[in-house]
Structure 1
Amino acid sequence: MNKEQLKKVRDGKGFIAALDQSGGSTPNALSAYGVMEDTYSSEDEMFTLVHEMRTRTITSPAFDSQYILGAILFEQTMESKIEGMYTADYLADKKGIAPFLKIDKGLADLKNGVQLMKPMPELDALLKKANTFNIFGTKMRSVIKELNEEGIKEIVKQQFEVAKQIIDAGLVPIIEPEVDINSDKKAEIENLLNKEILLHLDQLSSDDKVMLKLTIPTVANTYKKAMEHPNVIRVVALSGGYSREAANEKLKENDGLIASFSRALSQDLRANQDDEEFNKNLKDSVQSIYDASVNK
């Protein structure tokens, strides 16, 4: 574990940028960026275009360690280069930003009101590769859609089991059991989720360090005890489909909670913008998310 990056992520002011759209969500990300599906004819072409989008974002002067503590990457982005350097090295060495890697392989079918992560038989190999590419931490997403105690317990159990595997590989796991913002029992789900998270945190050894990435709660400061837990480096929030403006307002209500936004970060960026407009829009986005993360 990189101690300098650990200190920055744990103690720094700022937020985590989520740049980890993968195969299933990449067409939507490109479409939102103004690159339609009829402009590419293969997966390779698609990933070339999305890497160009990510490169433009990361190399922008607005993508600055004064505001951004870390960035979450997709595996193919990790294996690609920016200005002759692998992306994680560029982030760390040129930008002073800690690199994270999305490791899950998507969601299983809905069962007991939740979508667990699909099996990851290649995880050990991926974690070895992540260390080779100088990755600091990882992120893995599952989703809770309904108030179902059995499903919520199962989703938290799976997240912490995989987190332990990541810790043993010398990386910092971001545990992400997302709660669907459209659930009519969202607050009740979050109360149960919070209890389960705290139970599993208490079972970690003192040296085990994790991060949590959670949907901004309906009831402000629901996750306050988790933030204060000695095994938790940081708790970050996903935007979950909220607009940037709505997500920022909700974030401000939660003491100590910082952003890890994806769509909300990039919602005003377009491929046809010149550098001046692109950089201005990204700067405005970064500044607003930073302000919501640190001004409590």
Structure 2
Amino acid sequence: MNENQMNRMHTGKGFIAALDQSGGSTPKALLQYGVLERNYSNDEEMFDLVHEMRKRIIKSPAFTSEYILGAILFENTMYRTIDGQYTADYLWKQKNIVPFLKVDKGLTELEDGVQLMKPITDLNELLKKAAEKNIFGTKMRSVIREANSHGIKKVVDQQFEIGKQIAKFGLVPIIEPEVDIYSADKEESEKLLKLEISKQLSNLDQKTKVMLKLSIPIQDNFYSDLMDDPHVVRIVALSGGYSQAEANKKLACNHGLIASFSRALSQGLTAQQTEEEFNAMLSNSIKKIYEASIK
């Protein structure tokens, strides 16, 4: 584990950029960017295009460690290069931004009010490759749709079981049990979720460190006590479908909670923009998300 990266993630000012759209969500991300499906004919061409989009964001002068602490990458991106360096190395060596890797393989069907993660095949091999590529940590997502105590326990148990496996490779897992922002009983789900997370944290080995990626809570500062747990490096928030303005407004009401936005970060960016237009739009978004993250 890189101690400089750990210190930066634990105490630095800024937020995490989520650039980890996977196979299922890539067409939507490209469409938002102004690239239609007719512009590519297979997965290889699609991933080439999305890498160009991510590379454009990462290389932008607006994408700087003054505002951004880390960036989450899709597995395909980890094997690709930027200016002759693997993406993770470029992020850290050229930008001083900590690299993370999305490791989950998507969600199961809804059961007990939740969607668990699908089995992560060959996880150990992937974690070995991530360590070799100088990745600092990982991210994996589950979704909670209803305030079902049994389902929420299953989500958290699965997240922490795999998280402990990840930690054995010297990587810091981002535990992401997302509560659907449109859930009718979101606040009750958050109470059940916090209880299960607290139980899991109390049972961790003293040396094991994790991060949490959570939906912005109904009750302001609801997760503040979890931030003080010695196992928790940082708690970050997903935008979850909120617009950038709405996500920033809600985030700013939660002291110590920082952003890890995807769609809210890339909102307004298009392939058709000039470099000047693109960089100006990205800079504006980054500064607004940063301000909401340091409140």
TM-score (norm. length: structure 2) = 0.99
Match of 1:236 in 2: 236
Match of 2:254 in 1: 254
The DSSP-based 3-state class of the residue aligned with 2:38 is helix
Match of 1:288 in 2: 288
The DSSP-based 3-state class of the residue aligned with 1:18 is strand
Q: Following the alignment from structure 1 to structure 2, what is the Cα–Cα distance between the partners of residues 136 and 67?
A: 19
Q: Following the alignment from structure 1 to structure 2, what is the Cα–Cα distance between the partners of residues 203 and 264?
A: 35
Match of 1:106 in 2: 106
The DSSP-based 3-state class of the residue aligned with 1:184 is coil
Match of 2:187 in 1: 187
Offset, 1:121: 2.6
Query: Following TM superposition, where does structure 1 have runs of at least 4 consecutive aligned residues deviating by more than 3 angstroms?
Result: none
Match of 1:219 in 2: 219
For residues 1-296 of structure 1, the aligned pairs below 5 Å read 1-294=1-294, 296=295
Q: Following the alignment from structure 2 to structure 1, what is the Cα–Cα distance between the partners of residues 287 and 252?
A: 14
The DSSP-based 3-state class of the residue aligned with 2:245 is helix
The DSSP-based 3-state class of the residue aligned with 1:254 is coil
Q: Following the alignment from structure 1 to structure 2, what is the Cα–Cα distance between the partners of residues 250 and 263?
A: 16
Q: Following the alignment from structure 1 to structure 2, what is the Cα–Cα distance between the partners of residues 227 and 37?
A: 42
Offset, 1:147: 1.1
Offset, 1:125: 0.3
Offset, 1:228: 1.0
1:76-104: CA deviation from partner (whole Å, max 9, x where unpaired): 00000001110000000000000000000
Partner letter of residue 257 of structure 1? L
The DSSP-based 3-state class of the residue aligned with 1:22 is coil
Q: Following the alignment from structure 1 to structure 2, what is the Cα–Cα distance between the partners of residues 114 and 222?
A: 21
Alignment gaps of 5+ in structure 2:
none
The DSSP-based 3-state class of the residue aligned with 1:255 is coil
Q: Following the alignment from structure 1 to structure 2, what is the Cα–Cα distance between the partners of residues 252 and 282?
A: 20
The DSSP-based 3-state class of the residue aligned with 2:261 is coil
Q: Following the alignment from structure 1 to structure 2, what is the Cα–Cα distance between the partners of residues 268 and 85?
A: 28
Q: Following the alignment from structure 1 to structure 2, what is the Cα–Cα distance between the partners of residues 152 and 201?
A: 15
Offset, 1:206: 1.2
Alignment gaps of 5+ in structure 1:
none
Quote the sequence identity (%). 63
The DSSP-based 3-state class of the residue aligned with 1:242 is coil
Q: How many residues align?
A: 295
Q: Following the alignment from structure 1 to structure 2, what is the Cα–Cα distance between the partners of residues 86 and 169?
A: 20
Q: Following the alignment from structure 1 to structure 2, what is the Cα–Cα distance between the partners of residues 268 and 31?
A: 12
Q: Following the alignment from structure 1 to structure 2, what is the Cα–Cα distance between the partners of residues 53 and 120?
A: 27
The DSSP-based 3-state class of the residue aligned with 1:260 is strand
Q: Following the alignment from structure 2 to structure 1, what is the Cα–Cα distance between the partners of residues 105 and 287?
A: 32
The DSSP-based 3-state class of the residue aligned with 1:121 is coil
Partner letter of residue 281 of structure 2? N
Partner letter of residue 47 of structure 1? F
The DSSP-based 3-state class of the residue aligned with 1:175 is strand
1:27-49: CA deviation from partner (whole Å, max 9, x where unpaired): 00000000010111000000000
Offset, 1:221: 1.1
Partner letter of residue 266 of structure 2? S
